[in-house]
């Protein structure tokens, strides 16, 4: 059944000028109704009372939680909310950090109004819009790799790493010591030939290891 009434949007953006322009654009027709929040804390406080069809989230939200941290909190809450990042960042850490944290799309600021409205429409209808440069980067990394070299426990640790858990968080969730966590992560890095958390997350996504 087709949705009746406008799609409900929630824009989380700390730049007042960008926030005002985006609200004006998104509310310019009858298809969308956009509510705005100036930081992650304000949005998270309002979240129990709202049910947005789509969240548009900046990454650089200050001075408190950033957009990726806010996404992790939403994910942990158990609510399955459609979230698209709207940001200036094109680096791998931001892109894969957002996707691993539950973002369903990734759009760059500077997207033309017509293309932005079309992307928002796609996202509301279940799509996963990405700016062309971001899409090319993601597609180029999503391929079936060699058989997974990790043990079952190492896969569990890697999954929690990709979910943004700290070493202490992994220790508590898997009921293992901190030194054991560090040993598993050392072996994961060695087996996957990576040297940082960002690299291991990117490799895990690229080769579908989790």
Task: Name the E strands within 122-173.
Answer: none
- pTM of the full structure: 0.66
CB atoms within 10 A of CB 192: 21
CB atoms within 10 A of CB 117: 17
Tokens of 8: 């409900």
pLDDT by residue (tens digit) across 67-95?
999 998 988 888 889 999 999 988 877 88
CA–CA gap between residue 54 and residue 10 (Å, rounded):
6
pLDDT by residue (tens digit) across 122-178?
999 988 898 888 877 675 555 444 457 888 888 889 988 888 888 999 999 999 999
């Amino acid at each position: 059944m087709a949705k009746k009434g406008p799609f409900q949007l929630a824009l989380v953006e700390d730049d007042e000028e960008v926030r005002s322009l985006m609200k004006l654009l998104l509310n310019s027709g009858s298809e969308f109704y956009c509510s705005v929040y100036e930081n992650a804390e304000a949005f998270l406080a309002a979240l129990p009372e709202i049910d947005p069809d789509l969240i548009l989230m900046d990454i650089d939200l200050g001075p408190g939680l950033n957009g990726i941290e806010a996404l992790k909190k939403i994910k942990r809450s158990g609510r399955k909310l459609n979230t698209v990042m709207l940001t200036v960042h094109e680096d791998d850490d931001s892109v894969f950090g957002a996707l691993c944290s539950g973002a369903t799309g990734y759009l760059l600021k500077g997207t033309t109004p017509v293309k932005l409205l079309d992307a928002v429409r796609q996202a509301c209808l279940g799509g996963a819009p990405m700016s062309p440069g971001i899409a090319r980067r993601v597609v180029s990394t999503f391929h079936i790799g060699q058989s997974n070299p990790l043990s079952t426990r190492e896969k569990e640790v890697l999954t929690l790493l990709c979910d943004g858990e700290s070493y202490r968080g992994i220790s508590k969730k898997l009921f293992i010591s901190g030194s054991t966590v560090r040993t598993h992560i050392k072996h994961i890095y060695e087996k996957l030939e990576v040297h940082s958390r960002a690299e291991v997350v990117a490799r895990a996504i690229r080769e579908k290891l989790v």
